[in-house]
């Protein structure tokens, strides 16, 4: 139509310098929600103020949680949540919807209706509402948003997390905070473990055991959360774009400081290394339980790759960036197991 904008891309010269990358989105959602469930104050630096993280902020405020931002630090004052008068709008954020539904499920007497935009309303919710119902939560219309949920004193669960979904695992763990019953999740392919790491930072132990049937994740005995200080590393999904650009543009040399290098999130960078990319990690350190490092990428001629389905969860959001790298490799690359992208923002 007449309102179409014409976009023109022209080749750039070499890319050099430091990429300023916002904080990790997955960790930002979790820091806000866990801080809101904890006793006392949680102070957060490195929070990304993207549209869907702000949806989590506004949703928590509807539950009566006080959240303030001063300079670069966010302060969340945790405590008992109250039943909201209005429906909770998760806009376009699947993480906000699924984690908040999990949190409410384990809060007896709390009742909330969740809705989202047209796109979020198409995304599958049964994978999270089914296990919560098995635990004893009362849920109306569990297939798609809008969903109404009533929290309860829940029972335990042994859940097999297939397909590997960190959001489903996190929802069950959050729901389990309100009960003393056994909460166990088995993952044949491990999904990202930011919730487990952050729960430990706030005082709830999570046991992870490597068994023949997969990773077995269990909530510990102590489930009361206490506020703390959290520093969030730079988002490897956001960093993917400047770093892949550096890998494919001749003469480039780009560094991202303090990037989250959690091994369940670095699939893209491991794949780029097999393709011959020049990647250098330095200044590795533990920050709020997560591993962060400075990541430097220089241009190199890339070879093709063959990514197997079990490698995909560690780079599900970075597949579009990987596809660009594959376009610069000499020959045919193969990426298997991409069905999950059909129900994600990054299709």
Tell the residue number behind the tokens 């490092």, with chain if given: 293
3 among known catalytic residues: no
Which of 3, 317, 330, 347 is catalytic? The answer is 317
Give the Cα separation of 204 and 219 in Å (integer). Answer: 8
Point out the residues that are catalytic: 317
């Amino acid at each position: 139509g007449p309102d179409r904008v014409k976009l023109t891309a022209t080749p750039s010269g070499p890319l050099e310098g430091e990429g300023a990358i916002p904080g990790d989105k997955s960790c930002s959602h979790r820091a806000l929600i866990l801080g809101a469930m904890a006793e006392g104050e949680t102070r957060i630096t490195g929070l990304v103020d993207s549209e869907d993280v702000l949806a989590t902020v506004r949703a928590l405020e509807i539950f009566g949680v006080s959240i303030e931002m001063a300079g670069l630090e966010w302060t969340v004052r945790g405590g008992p949540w109250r039943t909201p008068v209005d429906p909770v709008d998760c806009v376009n954020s699947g993480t906000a919807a699924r984690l908040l539904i999990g949190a409410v499920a384990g809060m007896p007497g709390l009742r909330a209706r969740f809705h989202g935009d047209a796109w979020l309303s198409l995304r599958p919710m049964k994978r999270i509402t089914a296990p919560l119902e098995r635990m004893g939560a009362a849920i109306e219309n569990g297939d798609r948003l809008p969903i109404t949920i009533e929290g309860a004193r829940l029972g335990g669960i042994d859940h097999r997390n297939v397909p590997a979904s960190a959001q489903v695992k996190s929802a069950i763990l959050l729901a389990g905070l309100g009960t003393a019953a056994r909460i166990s999740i088995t993952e044949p392919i491990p999904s990202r473990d930011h919730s487990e790491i952050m729960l430990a930072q706030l005082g709830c132990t999570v046991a992870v055991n490597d068994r023949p049937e997969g990773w077995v994740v269990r909530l510990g005995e102590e489930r009361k959360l206490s506020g703390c200080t959290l520093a969030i590393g730079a988002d490897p999904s956001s960093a993917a774009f400047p770093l892949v650009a550096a890998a494919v543009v001749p003469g480039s040399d780009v560094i991202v400081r303090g990037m989250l290098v959690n091994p369940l999130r670095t699939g893209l960078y491991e794949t780029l290394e097999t393709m011959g990319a020049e990647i250098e990690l330095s200044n590795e350190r533990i920050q709020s339980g997560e591993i962060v490092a400075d990541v430097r990428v220089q241009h190199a001629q890339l070879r093709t790759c063959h990514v197997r389905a079990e490698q995909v969860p560690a780079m599900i959001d970075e597949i579009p960036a990987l596809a660009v790298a594959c376009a610069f490799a000499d020959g045919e690359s193969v990426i298997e197991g991409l069905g999950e992208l059909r129900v994600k923002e990054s299709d």
